[in-house]
Amino acid sequence: MSNVYISTWRLCLLAICIALGFSGILGRLYYLHIWDQEKLAKIVKTNRNKIEIIHSRRGKVVDTRGNLLATTNTIIELGVDPHVIKPEDFNKLSDLSHLIGLPLKELEARIAKKTRERMGDFRREITNNHWSKLADKIDETDYNKVIELGIKGVYGNRKFERLYPGDSLAAHLVGFLNKEANAVMGVERYMDFYLRGQDGWREIERDGLRRELAQFRQREVNPTHGLNIELTIDFIAQHIIEDELNSLASTFQPQSAAIVVSDPSTGYLLALANWPTFDLNEFWKYPINTHRNRAVSDAVEPGSTFKIVPVSGALNDSLVIPETIFDCNQPAVEYMGRRISLPSDHKKFGSLSVSEVVSKSSNRGAAQLGMLLGPNRLYSYSVAFGFGRLSGYPLEGEIAGVLHPVREWDSLTISRLPIGYAVSATQLQIHYAMSVIANKGVLMSPQLVRRVFDDNGVTIASFRPRTRHRTLSVETAKDVAQLLINTVSPEGTAQLASIPNYEIAGKTGTTKKIINGRYSSQHHVTSFVGFFPASNPRLVISVIVDDPQSSIPVYGGNVAAPVFKNVAKRLIQYLDIQPVTQGREFYAMRGEIIDP
């Protein structure tokens, strides 16, 4: 038997290396468990534990009859973890591709992508890819079919999506959420506090494969879902005016147009629409100017619709009666020691009564009524009708228009303001000014939200009509209403707005637009504002058309008034508004057969 020589120094070197190795391990263990234990324990806990947000469901928006205008759907974002999928499941990818509508080659490419690049602190880093999106959203039915395929690693995350069933219906009122789920405009923004609810959260623990260990779930706070909003808007009324706006746009190709419908006694808005408009579900595809609510954000010179102010003021202060005569043939009058030129009329008139000044829309007659009132009272009545002031419209974007104080008037303002020049106003201001006459002399604030309610239908908060102030006496309002009925008669400027057996009261307006700093004879803003039945008003309807195109001269009487009539006739049938007298024309309009 031979002796094997073992070098002593080699044995010592090996022992030293082993000792150093164990020392390194012991040092590392000391560092991990004692020296830096607190910091590293936090990192481990962070990796294993996670606070998961449980999103609340946003409340719905409905019209006054409960029809959905905005709701929230649950959708599933589908994805795959490329590191988990098994090779034996590859033969199921064709079925998965068909279910989610993703081409098979694209699906295979996403599954094959097991790493991704990301920018670190100082360089690009390659990290494992544990999530490849396969579909932005699929519904529960399709998701259940995906699960039935049994492909390991394919899973979905549930989330909420805002949906607007009416697409563009009441777009400027309802508003929308942007892609970051932030309320941008309309009721969505105004009532966001009630609609958005309160998110919940849960604290979970995950294993090494980042799967939740449900048995270690520690704390969980359930979300509080958002409340629901009921508007004063009527779905069918809104559809009617938007349909009429589309017809108007195809006929006259205007720059813009808007229609407003309200209940004069409460100020509740039944419908408000602008053209052009946009689709709430695809808002990003439309020019930003289509998002503007022109009825509250665009100011125009009201023109002859403003004449109700000097007429009402003069009657209310007992300066005139409907039979008082004015000479509307003279081009100028003496006023406060100087000669003031009167605005021209669209046709030659002689002497006209106050009633005829309104029905024939005489500029010279209205100017003389304004002079009779004087600057201070004319200004005060203009403010009392709501001009130059915010109306109280609850949503964003409203402007006050321009009504200059008397100290800033020039020598012509006293004769131009009474005919609706030297003042600018929004359609909503013009609309609610006419509502003063329909509401027996009381100015109301626009109201859009009726109530806030929970999922059980219990009212949490209600929004009642808001009265601003009394503008005219009841008797004066009735007298002016009668004058406005004459405007819609065969002798008036708005005969195309008349409806058989109904008392229609209203006023036309036609103003020249300022183009390049001067009034243009080719570009106009036409309007008609009216209410019915005049003896017991149910609805106020305003129509304003900006720059309609036509081969014949355009006026409020031949552009806006017929639109008013079309809207009114359809609302009469829908709301079953009864006429003052039920003659043959009434039954014919309703499509009913009567005996000869």
Residue range 216-243: mean pLDDT, rounded: 88
CA distance 217 to 262: 54
Query: How large is the average pLDDT for residues 547-566?
Result: 93
**pLDDT exceeds 60 at position 593:** no
Residue 286 lies in a domain: yes
Residues 376 and 398 in one domain: yes
- pLDDT value for 263: 97
249 lies in the same domain as 355 = yes
Give the three-state DSSP class for 152: coil
- The reported pLDDT for the residue numbered 96 is 86
Give the range of the structural domain holding residue 65, as residue numbers without chain letter. Answer: 45-80+138-230
pLDDT tens, residue by residue, 190-204: 999 999 988 776 766
Q: What is the arithmetic mean of pLDDT over 163-170?
A: 95
**In the predicted structure, residue 31 carries a pLDDT above the cut 80:** no
Task: Say whether 285 sits in a helix, a strand or coil.
Answer: helix
Domains in the chain: how many in total? 2
State yes or no: pLDDT of 95 exceeds 60.
yes
CATH value at residue 179:
3.90.1310.10
Out of 196, 230, 264, a domain closes at 230
Question: Sorting pLDDT into bands at 50, 70 and 90, what band is 45?
Answer: low
Residue 369 has pLDDT above 60, yes or no: yes
Confidence of residue 120 (pLDDT cuts 50, 70, 90): low
Mean local confidence (pLDDT), 394-407: 95
Are 225 and 256 within one domain?
Answer: no
169 vs 120, higher pLDDT: 169
Element (H, E) at 272: strand 269-275
Question: Is the pLDDT score of 596 beyond 50?
Answer: no
Domain check: are 205 and 248 in the same one? no
Write down the pLDDT at residue 595.
46
Task: Classify burial at 244, counting beta carbons within 10 Å of its beta carbon; exposed 0-12, middle 13-18, buried 19 or more.
Answer: buried
pLDDT band at 561, cuts 50/70/90?
very high
Mean pLDDT of the 50-72 span: 88
Tokens coding 269: 């808005």
- pLDDT in the model for residue 517: 81
Q: Are residues 205 and 250 in the same domain?
A: no
CATH, residue 388:
3.40.710.10
In a domain, 104, yes or no: no
Mean pLDDT of 480-501: 92
Question: Does 392 score more than 60 pLDDT?
Answer: yes
In a domain, 532, yes or no: yes
In a domain, 389, yes or no: yes
ω into 548 cis (within 30 of 0): no
Domain closes at, from 196, 211, 230: 230
More confident residue, 227 or 590: 227
Contact 441, 462 (CB under 8 A): no
Percent of the chain at pLDDT > 90 equals 61
Residues 225 and 242 grouped into a single domain: no
**Pair 182, 321 in one domain:** no
User: Longest Cα pair distance anywhere in the chain, in angstroms?
Assistant: 150
Per DSSP, what are the bridge partners of residue 511?
525
pLDDT level of residue 588 (50, 70, 90 thresholds): very low
pLDDT band at 213 (very low <50, low <70, confident <90, very high): very low
The least confident of 243-257, 308-322, 324-338, 467-481 is 324-338
For residue 333, the model assigns a pLDDT of 92
More reliable by pLDDT, 221 or 229: 229
State the chain's mean pLDDT as an integer: 87
- Please tell me the predicted confidence (pLDDT) of residue 590: 44
Same domain for 218 and 262?
no
Q: What is the pLDDT of residue 383?
A: 97
Do the domain assignments include residue 193? yes
Does position 373 have pLDDT exceeding 60, yes or no? yes
pLDDT of residue 298: 95
Q: What is the CA radius of gyration of the chain?
A: 36
Same domain, 487 and 366: yes
Model pTM above 0.85: no
Q: Which of 67-71, 228-232, 566-570, 583-587 has the lowest mean pLDDT?
A: 583-587
Whether residue 244 has pLDDT greater than 80 = yes
- Assess whether pLDDT exceeds 50 at residue 586: no
In this structure, the answer to whether residues 476 and 577 fall within a common structural domain is yes
Single out the residue in 172, 204, 230 at which a domain terminates: 230
Confidence category of residue 324, pLDDT binned at 50, 70, 90? very high
Within a domain: 162: yes
For residue 143, the model assigns a pLDDT of: 84
Q: Which residue has the higher pLDDT, 136 or 244?
A: 244
Do 200 and 243 belong together in one domain? no
Task: Say how many C-beta atoms besides its own lie within 10 A of residue 55's C-beta.
Answer: 15
Identify which has the larger pLDDT, 5 or 476: 476
Q: What residues have CB less than 8 Å from 557, skipping those under 6 apart? A: 493, 494, 495, 496, 497, 508, 510, 528
Rounded to whole angstroms, the Cα distance separating 433 from 445 reads 11
Model confidence at 270, pLDDT cuts 50, 70, 90, reads very high
Q: Residue 539 domain-assigned? A: yes
Cis check: omega of the bond before 533, within 30 degrees of 0: yes
Lowest mean pLDDT among 23-37, 110-124, 144-158, 530-544: 110-124
CA distance 263 to 28: 80
Tell me if 365 is assigned to some domain. Answer: yes
Same-domain pairing of 239 and 226: no
Phi, psi of 410 (to 5 degrees): -95, -175
